[in-house]
């Protein structure tokens, strides 16, 4: 694998990036408000398409993130664009925060479901009624994981918005080609 910096991200990195962005956004939109309240009222999550889609997309986010991490170790080197040191630092911190949230959101969802004894309901009728390893773990009772999950869901959307705004700033104000490195149709630097 070529580890020299390339002018653009490779096609697989671009696909992972944009598919993840779309899936996270749809999962956020479909995030069931008051999920815990519904469950305590006896609502079967399998009867709510928003919950089934939200949970299925959450598992997809986890799978995509793990695959992306593997690809990150194998892919060609990322493009390097000249910019101020503080911008490089800000970029690295933003990416680190987004990666952490992409991992933490599905984990906190599983902690919520397993810790509160709720089933995981997925597309295709897949259902995991009990998650004893989670339910019986000490970490399941350390926090209200549903609240943590909701907070992190809001946080990833805010950070993704800032990430997109920074890319647009680079494109339209700095005109340094940062956005073009991740666009599938290319573009000139």
pLDDT tens figures, 127-143? 999 998 998 899 988 99
Kindly list the domain boundaries of the chain, sorted by start residue.
Answer: 11-179
In this predicted structure, the answer to whether residue 5 has a pLDDT above a threshold of 70 is no
CA distance 14 to 133: 36
In DSSP terms, which residues pair with 128 in a beta bridge?
120
Lowest mean pLDDT among 5-9, 50-54, 75-79, 97-101: 5-9
**Residue found by looking up tokens 């398409």 in the block:** 49
In DSSP terms, which residues pair with 121 in a beta bridge?
127
Q: Is 91 exposed, middle or buried (0-12, 13-18, 19+ CB in 10 A)?
A: middle
Residue pLDDT, tens place only, 73-91: 999 888 988 899 999 999 9
Q: pLDDT band for position 186 (50/70/90)? A: low
Q: pLDDT band for position 185 (50/70/90)? A: confident
Q: pLDDT band for position 33 (50/70/90)? A: confident
Q: What is the pLDDT of residue 188?
A: 47
- Give the chain's largest Cα–Cα span: 57
Q: pLDDT band for position 189 (50/70/90)? A: very low
Average pLDDT, the chain: 91
Q: Which of 149, 117, 128 is nearest to 46 (CA)?
A: 128
Whole-prediction pTM: 0.90
Task: Sort residue 42 into left (φ over 0), alpha (ψ -120 to 50) or beta.
Answer: left
In this predicted structure, the answer to whether residue 187 has a pLDDT above a threshold of 60 is no
In DSSP terms, which residues pair with 120 in a beta bridge?
128
Q: Which of 167, 173, 160 is nearest to 79 (CA)?
A: 167
Q: pLDDT band for position 20 (50/70/90)? A: very high
CA distance 14 to 21: 11
């Amino acid at each position: 694998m070529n580890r020299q910096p390339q002018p653009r991200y490779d096609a697989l990195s671009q696909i992972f990036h944009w598919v993840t962005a779309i899936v996270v956004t749809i999962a956020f939109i479909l995030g069931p408000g008051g999920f815990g309240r519904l469950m305590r009222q006896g609502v079967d999550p399998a009867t709510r398409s928003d919950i089934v889609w939200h949970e299925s997309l959450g598992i997809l986010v986890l799978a995509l993130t793990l695959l992306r991490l593997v690809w990150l170790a194998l892919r060609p080197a990322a493009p390097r664009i000249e910019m101020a040191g503080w911008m490089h630092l800000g970029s690295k911190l933003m990416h680190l925060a987004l990666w952490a949230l992409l991992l933490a959101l599905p984990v906190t969802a599983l902690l919520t479901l397993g810790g509160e004894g709720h089933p995981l309901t997925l597309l295709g009728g897949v259902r995991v009624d009990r998650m004893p390893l989670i339910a019986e773990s000490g970490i399941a009772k350390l926090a209200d994981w549903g609240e943590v999950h909701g907070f992190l869901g809001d946080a990833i959307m805010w950070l993704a918005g800032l990430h997109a705004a920074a890319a647009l700033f680079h494109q339209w104000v700095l005109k340094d080609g940062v956005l073009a490195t991740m666009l599938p149709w290319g573009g000139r630097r």
